[in-house]
């Protein structure tokens, strides 16, 4: 009567009847009890003295509390805007040098204006409170985001360049952060990254008397601090921020801190091994061996963000069953095709014997096409008749191959969605690409073969085989590009616009442009060689039009791949030859 | 911060109002009726368990609530324990024992009594006592009802904000890390994966708050929320 209970995908226990919305109630409740996430939104009434100290602000709620002080979400009624009010720990006021440091740093912070830096609007002292009024970021911090689900390498590669940009800007303004950690990296609801608390560490004066033991209580964890920041805090420069960012980067990629003799991210989490060098270089103990600027690090990270991911198989990866099946079906399809070809040949020979030929398409000597239906051709017929058998023999391999293709496409989508947790990309690629790839080769080969036949016809000797082989070359090239495209799709790599602008990297359009330009140029040479002589008019037209279209496609593809050097050159060459061809053909 | 919340927030939960009024004032009765409306399901399933079928279940449940709400006062509640759940379970057990006594009396031809049954221990000594479902079953149903209610309330809030789609897509993440990748959810919602993480965090936080406030309504003190949650979690295992 009842369907069998479905096990919860997470805890494996059966989901009981009456579970709300079919969700496992155990996991639901456990997650709601999970104490690791601090409850922040509960409406805590602000202490009376804060309300009194800030009569011009409407204190909405406490949104964070940490070693530095408390942060409130507040409204400025006269501006009708929501901002964040940070109140530094009252104990700080006891330090005589604090007031001077606070106003000096505050002025430097208020000058910072960057899309990835939380802006400081104002600062000052009210009663015994030192306060900063800052931009309110509607979102969560990176720590909370990591708790909401582990970061994919792709996300890390999106976030880190934004942090680099913020650091590069702040460093150029002479401001160090000194406390880069996931809690200070905010992400808004649109996924934009903003760094908070620039220079607050310095305001607190930790730069002068922090020690390992003290920092444990003052900063939470020294795990993000550069070695020199712990050993010689007075001697810190911007490269300490780069080290801290390296720790954050490592944590995003692997979910763990780089403590002791830590593994490379590729060994630990199966990320692109070329990222290892970036991470290791930011985490160099000697700051002279680190990236010397955040901008340099940004460029390197973006290089790898742009290049197709070379993933190492993570250990938990399993091979997609669909991909394997599509590969097997493709192989089976190839074997069946060969079989049916042989069978068809045998069948045709057998049938030719009694009544020579029952119909066919034939090129008549004067160039026209003639369809001849023989009078005693067997008109189709019930099941089991020779024609049905032929049809089945021909259709079966086709069906198997097409099933393999569709399975392969589906497997590619699965692999892409699994983001590296599912293997078998090569199987899927072959399965999905075999039929289209073969078609590409066949079409180009046939096209050039018939073209060759037309050209050489007038001279008596036909070299159609040679033409077919020559014709398959660009086809094979195109098929190769097509397979690469499939692989990129499967690995989920998309070229970020910013990166393609900086990195001259051949993409599909530029490769196609080069390809078509070469074909066009070759055809142009043939045209120049042949056209002055007397050639049959239809062959002439075919040649001219195919040359023109190849060149035109070369121009279009070159234009589409704007920034690519290869594409641009091809576009120019194709365009030039196009003009030459037009002049040659129509004058 | 949390202690401030405990002192200042939820000055009077529904169950506190019931207890303070001892169920005698109209406000107290209204609060009790509200609570009963929410936790109808655990009582119904407890009675269905007991009747081993459903012919009488609806009638008995109806009768129980009518009696509970028309009764003047909630003296049956143990104010020390301060939980509506315990009160309701005690009341329903008491009610079923009285029903059994009534029916046994009828079966045996009226007033013939084989055993002296005192009102408190009666349910435990007669043979039929094995049919009383375990408290754990009641608590389990209670937990399911509570979660369902919190979830529905949250869904309604999202719908009111015009974000019903967001709720539906991200709901699986309320239980932790589901098998499907976040990239699929991101594509479905047209957000970046990082933005989805922000939304998931928000959703969890709101559900947590919703659940706690629903739970607090049945308790006399918000300090008991954690304890009650662990108890219900154990009941679900």
Is the pLDDT confidence value at A214 over 60? no
pLDDT tens, position by position, A231-241: 777 778 889 89
Contact flag A42-B193 (C-beta cutoff 8 Å): no
> Average pLDDT of B184-203?
84
Residue A279 in tokens = 């991470």
pLDDT at A535: 60
> Helical H runs in A119-237?
142-147, 153-172, 200-203, 206-209, 212-218, 227-231
Task: Report chain A's terminal Cα–Cα distance, integer Å.
Answer: 85
Nearest to A389 by CA among A350, A362, A356: A350
- Tell me the pLDDT band of A165, cut-offs 50, 70 and 90: very high
Contacting residues of A for B198, CB less than 8 Å apart? 139-140, 145, 148, 187-189, 191
Highest-confidence segment of A467-471, B3-7, B192-196: B192-196
- Window from A35-44, A316-325, B161-170 with minimum mean pLDDT: A35-44
pLDDT at A587: 62
Highest-confidence segment of A279-293, A439-453, B68-82: A279-293
**Among residues 99-138 of chain B, which lie with CB inside 8 Å of chain A?**
none
From the list B45, B174, B181, the residue facing A23 with the nearest CB is B174
Which residue in B has a C-alpha nearest to residue A413's C-alpha? B184
Contacting residues of A for B185, CB less than 8 Å apart? none
pLDDT at A373: 40
Q: Quick check: helix, strand or coil at residue A459? A: coil
Contacting residues of B for A419, CB less than 8 Å apart? 181, 183
Contacting residues of B for A417, CB less than 8 Å apart? 181, 183-184
How far apart CA A196 and CA A181 sit, in angstroms, is: 10
Contact flag A23-B2 (C-beta cutoff 8 Å): no
How far apart CA A276 and CA A3 sit, in angstroms, is: 50
Higher pLDDT: A166 or A365? It is A166
Interface test with A, best of B40, B156, B172, B197 (most A CBs within 10 A): B197
Residues A90 and A128: beta-carbon distance below 8 Å: yes
Q: What is the largest CA-CA distance in chain A?
A: 115
> Average pLDDT of A113-120?
91
Q: Evaluate whether ipTM surpasses 0.85.
A: no
From the list B144, B152, B191, the residue facing A19 with the nearest CB is B144
Q: Quick check: helix, strand or coil at residue B76? A: coil
Contacting residues of B for A19, CB less than 8 Å apart? 144
Which residue in B has a C-alpha nearest to residue A66's C-alpha? B1
Which residue in A has a C-alpha nearest to residue B230's C-alpha? A33
What does the DSSP 8-state code read for residue A495? Answer: -
Contacting residues of B for A413, CB less than 8 Å apart? none
Handedness of CA B106, B110, B116, B119 (dihedral sign): positive
Min distance B50 CA to chain A CA atoms (Å): 18
- Tell me the pLDDT band of A35, cut-offs 50, 70 and 90: low
Q: Is pTM, for the whole model, over 0.80? A: no
From the list B179, B198, B205, the residue facing A145 with the nearest CB is B198
Contacting residues of B for A156, CB less than 8 Å apart? none
From the list B147, B192, B209, the residue facing A29 with the nearest CB is B147
Measured between CB atoms, does B224 come within 8 Å of chain A? no
- The burial of A497, by beta-carbon neighbours within 10 Å (0-12 exposed, 13-18 middle, 19 or more buried), is given as exposed
Is the pLDDT confidence value at B52 over 70? yes
Main-chain dihedrals φ then ψ at residue B219, nearest 5 degrees: -120, 160
> Average pLDDT of A47-56?
80
- Tell me the pLDDT band of A168, cut-offs 50, 70 and 90: very high
Kindly give the interhelix angle for A321-352 and A386-418, rounded to the nearest 10 degrees: 160
From the list A23, A37, A42, the residue facing B9 with the nearest CB is A42
> Average pLDDT of A195-209?
66
Contact flag B183-A65 (C-beta cutoff 8 Å): no
- Tell me the pLDDT band of A215, cut-offs 50, 70 and 90: very low
Main-chain dihedrals φ then ψ at residue B163, nearest 5 degrees: -120, 35
Residues A56 and A78: beta-carbon distance below 8 Å: yes
The label of the residue with tokens 């805890």 reads A11
pLDDT tens, position by position, A356-387: 444 433 434 444 434 344 444 444 444 445 66
Q: Quick check: helix, strand or coil at residue A85? A: strand
Q: Which residues contact A125 (CB under 8 A, 6 or more apart)?
A: A99, A102, A131
Contacting residues of A for B211, CB less than 8 Å apart? 29, 32
Contacting residues of B for A20, CB less than 8 Å apart? 144, 147-149, 151-152
Contact flag B183-A419 (C-beta cutoff 8 Å): yes
From the list B151, B198, B209, the residue facing A20 with the nearest CB is B151
User: DSSP characters for A372-414?
Assistant: EE-TT-----STTSHHHHHHHHHHHHHHHHHHHHHHHHHHHHH
HSE-CB of A77 using CA atoms within 13 angstroms: 7
Min distance B73 CA to chain A CA atoms (Å): 32
User: DSSP characters for A268-327?
Assistant: HH---HHHHHHHHHHT-SSGGGS-SSHHHHHHHHHHHHHSPP-PPPPTT-EE-HHHHHHH
Residues A296 and A161: beta-carbon distance below 8 Å: no
Measured between CB atoms, does B38 come within 8 Å of chain A? no
- Tell me the pLDDT band of A221, cut-offs 50, 70 and 90: low
- Tell me the pLDDT band of B83, cut-offs 50, 70 and 90: confident
Higher pLDDT: A265 or A199? It is A265
Contacting residues of A for B151, CB less than 8 Å apart? 20-21, 23, 28
Residues A535 and A551: beta-carbon distance below 8 Å: no
Q: Long-range contacts of range A212-221, CB-CB < 8 Å, 24 or more positions apart? A: A218/A67, A219/A67, A219/A179, A220/A66, A220/A67, A220/A181, A220/A183, A221/A181
Contact flag B201-A144 (C-beta cutoff 8 Å): yes
Measured between CB atoms, does B32 come within 8 Å of chain A? no
Contact flag B177-A30 (C-beta cutoff 8 Å): no
């Amino acid at each position: 009567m009842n369907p069998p209970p479905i096990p919860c995908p997470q805890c494996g226990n059966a989901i009981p009847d009456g579970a709300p919305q079919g969700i496992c109630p155990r996991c639901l409740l456990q997650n709601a009890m999970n104490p690791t996430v601090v409850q922040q939104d509960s409406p805590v009434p602000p202490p009376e003295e804060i309300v009194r100290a800030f009569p011009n602000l409407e204190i909405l709620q406490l949104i964070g509390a940490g070693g530095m002080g408390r942060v409130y979400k507040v409204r400025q009624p006269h501006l009708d805007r929501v901002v964040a009010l940070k109140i530094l720990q009252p104990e700080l006021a006891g330090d005589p040098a604090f007031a001077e440091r606070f106003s000096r740093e505050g002025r430097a912070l208020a000058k910072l204006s960057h899309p990835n830096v939380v802006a400081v609007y104002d600062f000052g002292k009210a009663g015994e409170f030192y306060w900063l009024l800052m931009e309110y970021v509607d979102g969560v911090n990176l720590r909370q985001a990591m708790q909401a689900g582990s970061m994919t390498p792709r996300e890390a590669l999106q976030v880190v360049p934004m942090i680099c940009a913020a650091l590069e800007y702040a460093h150029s303004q002479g401001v160090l952060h000194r406390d880069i950690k996931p809690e200070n990296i905010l992400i808004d609801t649109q996924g934009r990254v903003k760094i908070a608390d620039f220079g607050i560490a310095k305001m607190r004066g930790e730069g002068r008397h922090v020690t390992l033991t003290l920092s444990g209580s003052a900063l939470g964890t020294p795990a993000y601090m550069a070695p020199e920041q712990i050993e010689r805090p007075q001697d810190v420069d911007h490269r300490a921020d780069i080290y801290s960012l390296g720790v954050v980067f490592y944590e995003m990629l692997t979910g763990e801190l780089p403590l002791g003799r830590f593994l490379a991210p590729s060994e630990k989490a199966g990320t692109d091994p070329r990222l290892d060098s970036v991470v290791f270089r930011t985490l160099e103990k000697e700051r002279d061996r680190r990236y010397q600027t955040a901008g340099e690090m940004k460029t390197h990270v973006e290089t790898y963000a742009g290049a197709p991911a070379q993933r190492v198989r993570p250990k938990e990866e399993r091979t997609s069953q669909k991909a394997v099946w599509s590969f097997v079906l493709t192989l089976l399809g190839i074997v069946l095709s060969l079989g049916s070809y042989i069978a068809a040949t045998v069948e045709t020979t057998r049938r030719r014997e009694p009544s020579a030929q029952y119909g066919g398409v034939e090129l008549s000597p004067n160039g026209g096409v003639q369809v001849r239906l023989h009078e005693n051709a067997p008109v189709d017929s019930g099941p089991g008749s020779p024609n049905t058998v032929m049809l089945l023999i021909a259709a079966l391999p086709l069906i198997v191959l097409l099933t393999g293709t569709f399975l392969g496409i589906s497997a590619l989508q699965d692999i892409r969605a699994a983001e590296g947790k599912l293997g078998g990309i090569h199987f899927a690629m072959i399965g999905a690409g075999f039929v289209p790839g073969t078609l590409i080769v066949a079409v180009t080969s046939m096209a050039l073969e018939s073209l060759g036949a037309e050209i050489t016809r007038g001279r008596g000797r036909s070299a159609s085989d040679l033409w077919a082989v020559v014709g398959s070359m660009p086809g094979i090239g195109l098929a190769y590009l097509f397979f690469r495209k499939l692989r990129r799709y499967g690995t989920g790599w998309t070229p970020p616009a910013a990166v393609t602008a900086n990195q001259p990297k051949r993409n599909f359009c530029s490769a196609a442009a080069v390809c078509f330009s070469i074909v066009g140029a070759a055809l142009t040479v043939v045209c120049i060689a042949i056209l002055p002589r007397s050639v049959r008019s239809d062959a002439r037209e075919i040649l001219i039009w195919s040359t023109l279209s190849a060149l035109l496609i070369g121009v279009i593809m070159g234009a589409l791949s704007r920034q690519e050097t290869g594409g641009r050159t091809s576009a120019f060459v194709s365009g030039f030859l196009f003009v030459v061809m037009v002049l040659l053909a129509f004058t | 911060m949390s202690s401030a919340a405990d002192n200042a927030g939820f000055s009077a939960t529904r169950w506190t109002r019931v207890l303070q009024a001892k169920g005698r004032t109209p406000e107290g009765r209204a609060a009790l009726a509200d609570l009963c409306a929410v936790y109808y399901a655990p009582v119904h399933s407890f009675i269905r368990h007991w009747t081993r079928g459903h012919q009488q279940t609806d009638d008995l449940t109806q009768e129980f609530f009518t009696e509970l709400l028309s009764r003047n006062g909630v003296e049956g509640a143990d104010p020390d324990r301060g939980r509506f759940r315990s009160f309701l379970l005690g009341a329903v057990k008491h009610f079923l024992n009285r029903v059994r006594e009534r029916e046994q009396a009828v079966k045996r031809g009226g007033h013939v009594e084989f055993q002296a049954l005192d009102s408190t221990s009666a349910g435990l000594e007669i043979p039929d006592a094995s049919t009383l479902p375990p408290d754990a079953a009641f608590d389990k149903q209670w937990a399911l009802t509570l979660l369902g209610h919190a979830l529905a309330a949250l869904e309604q809030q999202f719908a009111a904000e015009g974000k019903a789609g967001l709720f539906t897509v991200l709901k699986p993440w309320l239980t932790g890390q589901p098998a499907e990748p976040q990239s699929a959810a991101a594509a479905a919602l047209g957000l970046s994966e990082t933005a989805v993480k922000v939304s998931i965090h928000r959703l969890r936080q709101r559900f947590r708050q919703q659940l706690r406030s629903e739970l607090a309504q049945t308790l006399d003190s918000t300090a008991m929320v954690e304890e009650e949650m662990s108890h219900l979690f154990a009941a679900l295992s």
